[in-house]
Amino acid sequence: MTMEQHSTSIPPILYGTAWKEDDTQRLVLQALTLGFKGIDTANQRRHYFEEGVGLGIQQFLKSSQKTRSDLFIQTKFTSVHGQDHRKPYDEFDSLTNQVKQSFASSLEHLQTDYIDSYILHGPALSYGIIDSDLEIWQTMEALVLDGKVKVLGISNVNIEQIEALYKKASLKPSFIQNRCFAASKWDQDVRLFCKKHNIIYQGFSLLTANQPYLLTPYMRSLSAQYNKTIPQVIFRFALQIGILALTGTTNPQHMTDDLNIDDFELSSEDIQSIENIVNE
């Protein structure tokens, strides 16, 4: 399943809204105004201000000719261990009810009646998939069956976890979202699993997690060769190998740059070299 074939129209890059706090509304409006169509957030007040995302989206829709259906909105259910004291549900209620409460709160924050992509923010443990993960996933599946969510995904998983979830889930994930490290050949084992099972791999921290490798003479030479910034080269690389990239930049020029990667193509040799950048 390519990004174009997917039942929901999926943009080639998403704007990530973590750690924006009081600037969230302004930055979401700025990103949408500059041309982003996909927004990633979470109902996790510790790292995201989902309500601010909703305010930015509404401000954009009021000031443009666009409608809700022109946008791709992705949010997440975050379990208790990922939350601070500002939880969007009763932590003593059942997991099923926690998901329902969190989702209802997300719709309210985002001022919408459906979510394009609903992500489980991560399994309960750093290894394995346990019964509580499956209970959460089944409740998320029910939201799809009710027509309130288009597709599901999971983030922060290793290859064993995604294999286990894939085996047990009735509705398979459409997305896997991971922090993407060059040191693991850009999460190669999970990406290959995604490719095999028609899942779209979303990569975040493509720049911030890999800075030592991106500031090398090799990357500077590629930047000069293609007359693009190093981030543009990385986002183009991601696009060409099937990664749906997230960017969280707050700089309007960088936002514009990140969207402007359609007018060049990396050679297969350069793709291979970036995949193996740790050894360059």
- DSSP collapsed to 3 states, 13-45: EEEECCCCHHHHHHHHHHHHHHCCCEEECCCCC
Interatomic CA distance for residues 270 and 191, integer angstroms = 19
Residue 142 falls inside a structural domain: yes
Q: Tell me what pLDDT residue 4 has.
A: 39
Question: Do 221 and 121 share a domain, yes or no?
Answer: no
Q: Tell me what pLDDT residue 240 has.
A: 97
Q: Tell me what pLDDT residue 2 has.
A: 42
Residue 194 falls inside a structural domain: no
Interatomic CA distance for residues 178 and 186, integer angstroms = 10
What's the whole-number average pLDDT of the chain? 96
Question: Do 219 and 160 share a domain, yes or no?
Answer: no
Residue 130 falls inside a structural domain: yes
Q: Tell me what pLDDT residue 278 has.
A: 83
Q: Tell me what pLDDT residue 3 has.
A: 43
Question: Do 109 and 227 share a domain, yes or no?
Answer: no
> Which residues, in sequence order, are CB contacts of 260 under 8 Å at separation 6+?
232
Question: Do 28 and 149 share a domain, yes or no?
Answer: yes
Interatomic CA distance for residues 108 and 122, integer angstroms = 23
Question: Do 162 and 213 share a domain, yes or no?
Answer: no
Question: Do 36 and 87 share a domain, yes or no?
Answer: yes
Question: Do 21 and 149 share a domain, yes or no?
Answer: yes
- What is the sign, positive or negative, of the torsion defined by CA atoms of 133, 134, 139, 143? positive
Enclosing domain of residue 36 = 13-179
Interatomic CA distance for residues 218 and 277, integer angstroms = 9
Closest of 201, 204, 261 to residue 230, by C-alpha: 261
Question: Do 138 and 248 share a domain, yes or no?
Answer: no
Q: Tell me what pLDDT residue 90 has.
A: 98
Question: Do 253 and 159 share a domain, yes or no?
Answer: no
Q: Tell me what pLDDT residue 8 has.
A: 54
Residue 229, burial from CB neighbour count under 10 angstroms (0-12, 13-18, 19+): middle
Interatomic CA distance for residues 72 and 115, integer angstroms = 8
Residue 248 falls inside a structural domain: yes
Question: Do 154 and 265 share a domain, yes or no?
Answer: no
Buried residues in 15-37 as b, exposed as e (16+ CB within 10 A): bbbbebeeebbebbbbbbeeebb
Number of structural domains in the chain: 2
Q: Tell me what pLDDT residue 9 has.
A: 86
Question: Do 174 and 216 share a domain, yes or no?
Answer: no
The low-confidence residues of the chain, meaning pLDDT below 50, are 1-7
Say if residues 234 and 249 touch (Cβ distance below 8 Å).
Answer: no
Task: Count how many residues are written for the chain.
Answer: 280
Show the CA angle centred on residue 18, arms to residues 12 and 24, nearest 5°: 95
Question: Do 99 and 153 share a domain, yes or no?
Answer: yes
Residue 4, burial from CB neighbour count under 10 angstroms (0-12, 13-18, 19+): exposed
